[in-house]
């Protein structure tokens, strides 16, 4: 049976190793022939 220290060490090692296996998805912002942008207005008082 695992001791508390061994379980803690194993959990910490897994928590540090697993995010390294994840990869980011490719995300295309600009469309062909045009650019994506955000346009907004802020109404001011006065």
Task: Give, for all 46 residues of the chain, the pLDDT tens digit.
Answer: 779 999 999 999 999 988 878 888 887 777 777 777 778 888 887 5
| Residue 25 per-residue DSSP state | P
Residue pair 36/29 in contact (Cβ under 8 Å)? The answer is yes
What pLDDT score does 2 carry?
79
In whole angstroms, give the CA distance from residue 30 to residue 36: 5
What pLDDT score does 13 carry?
92
In whole angstroms, give the CA distance from residue 13 to residue 19: 11
What pLDDT score does 39 carry?
80
In whole angstroms, give the CA distance from residue 11 to residue 20: 15
């Amino acid at each position: 049976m695992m001791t508390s220290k061994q379980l803690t060490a194993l959990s910490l090692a897994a928590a540090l190793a697993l995010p390294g296996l994840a990869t980011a998805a490719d995300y295309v912002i600009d469309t062909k022939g045009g650019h994506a942008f955000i346009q907004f207005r802020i109404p001011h008082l006065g």
